[in-house]
Structure 1
Amino acid sequence: MADPASEQALLHYGDGEFAIIRPGRSVICAVSGKPVPLETLRYWSTRLQEAYAGPAEAFQRLGQIP
């Protein structure tokens, strides 16, 4: 069985797209801590360079940013 840490990708989040820096299957949601498979990743912050599991998490995080 593969080490879960080795399955985490490292991404650079851009406007409307992301670049894979280190290949992997998923990233971790900055709000919930849940893994987000790359094929379903739709929400992230270019400013904070972090991923979100869905719109609720992204909206929650936006409310925390000054």
Structure 2
Amino acid sequence: MNPPPKPLPVQGREAVLRYDRADFDIVEGGDHVRCAVSGKPIPLERLTYWSAELQEAYANAALMTQRWVETHGRS
């Protein structure tokens, strides 16, 4: 049995994703997601940083680190 097809990207619409540790699944089609820290749109083809734990995306490594410190504190 084949898995269900993934939703196609919809131009100009924000996608809904389910983030796993190594990849993500598209729940609702779109062409971008929003950075959880900056609020800026991130094209899906450039999405590199996210948190499976918090289920959110980040525009770059610095913003991902900033969010980690905010949620986990410094050790």
Normalising by structure 1, we get a TM-score of 0.89
- Whether 2:45 is the aligned partner of 1:34: answer no
TM-align CA RMSD:
1.3
Percent identical pairs in the alignment equals 49
Distance 1:28 1:60 in 2: 16
Distance 2:63 2:46 in 1: 14
Normalising by structure 2, we get a TM-score of 0.79
Distance 1:25 1:62 in 2: 26
Aligned equivalent of 1:55, options 54, 57, 61:
61
Larger radius of gyration: 2
Aligned residues: 62
The DSSP-based 3-state class of the residue aligned with 1:44 is: strand
Consecutive unaligned residues in structure 1, runs of 5 or more: none
* Moved beyond 3 Å, runs of 4+: none
